[in-house]
Structure 1
């Protein structure tokens, strides 16, 4: 394939998701109009867009609160996950002792844990952050542990031959090898942190002006304001896509920087 052909193929790949979205929204709008579906059952995308434009300021303010919980939870899960993964990689007996409980924590629904955390912790924001961090923790621990254990045996033997300390082996061999796995775990945990933040706010059921999008969805549901519910859901979906894309771009940039540094050496 020529360079021009490959560039055209890349442009088509970028446009295809937009075309699929436009087609899906067009079919959705046509079906709503054709069958005269009332807005309190299923609003059309044009009505959802109008609602989003009209209530955008309120919904964006709520989104900012949700993103505060999401960002704090992702940072907390990253710090705890890295520390725990390094400890598991350093002490095998600790991995055998703790890992089954991490799996149990991962498979336990957060909606069953969140009420307990909200009872034990008076600060609602901190409780929501902890709930979201629990959801986002396991991929970081699992991917980081896998990456740290994926160093080549020959290179490990070489480091032992030169009497490298465990810290030198970690920094110079295991961490660079584990970087793609670590970034993949953080990328997965970003979306999970957003889900955990929304679920935690659903369980908390807080009210007032300084609340997130989950509360706006609950309020709209109680009032049968279905277009507003769809507008909030659309905003959440777009936020998730942008968060995933941003973490993906960060991963590619860090890996490119690492590969470039290796080539410079």
Structure 2
């Protein structure tokens, strides 16, 4: 199936829903502060495009920094504990505990520790904490998933730890790492937005602040325009990760799976 054929069904469904939404708002005379029609959202998007673009760049930058931090820490920790079963048993419960702790609950603490004048650091830290576990778990699972027959073959030839890691375990871990990255991308954006909501200072001026500002003024069309920017950002990041996965497969980096 060609890319165009894959795009046609979702485009038709989206256009149909937008037409129904527009007609329903106009025929039922729904108040614009409650639910504006898509045409009003489009006008708000055009009118606020410069401010939204700037805020989107801020949120994107913080989410990207968080994703890089989560990848470095999660990948490094997974690599370290994969070499020792006791280390894995010690670290995994702590990683799970971090994952199940709501970001809203720890946000005030992180904001205090980062400094009230450095809200951006707090947002990046919280978003990294949210994105950490999928990367850690995916990479660790991948490092543990190498073919046992190949492991025995490496033993037979007396391969060292570094050779085993570079030539066997890392290629086997790559597909799992990409799957974890695809989950972590969305979580990094969510974590950045939630953290900015909680900080509530407006210092970062990201999309979450635009949502808060528009909500306080009952400018629902502006809120939906900011949400569209967030959705577009998430879709773009997911498409980037998917493209990275396809490139890795073409280059043969995932043969170990």
TM-score (structure 2 length as normaliser): 0.95
1:89-139 Cα offsets, whole Å, 9 max, x none, are 111111101101111110111011111100111121111111000000000
Which residue pairs with 1:3 in the alignment? none
Name which of 237, 249, 253 aligns with 1:255.
Answer: 249
Distance 2:253 2:51 in 1: 44
Distance 1:241 1:160 in 2: 44
Which residue pairs with 2:231 in the alignment? 237
Q: Does 1:221 find its partner at 2:215?
A: yes
Distance 1:24 1:238 in 2: 18
User: How big is the alpha-carbon RMSD for the aligned residues of Structure 1 and Structure 2?
Assistant: 1.6
1:174-222 Cα offsets, whole Å, 9 max, x none, are 01111111111111111110110001100111225x5100001001111
Q: Which runs of 4+ in 1 moved over 4 A?
A: 259-262
Which residue pairs with 1:73 in the alignment? 66
Name which of 70, 83, 100 aligns with 2:76.
Answer: 83
Give ranges in structure 2 of 5+ residues lacking alignment: none
CA contact (8 A) 2:146 2:168 kept: yes
Change in 2 beyond 3 A, CA 1:224/1:260 = closer
Which residue pairs with 2:158 in the alignment? 163
Q: Does 1:199 find its partner at 2:194?
A: yes
Which residue pairs with 2:86 in the alignment? 93
Q: How does 1:127-146 map to 2 (within 5 A)?
A: 127-146=122-141
Which residue pairs with 1:150 in the alignment? 145
Distance 2:8 2:229 in 1: 21
Distance 2:10 2:201 in 1: 37
Distance 2:174 2:189 in 1: 23
- Displacement of 1:43 in angstroms is 0.6
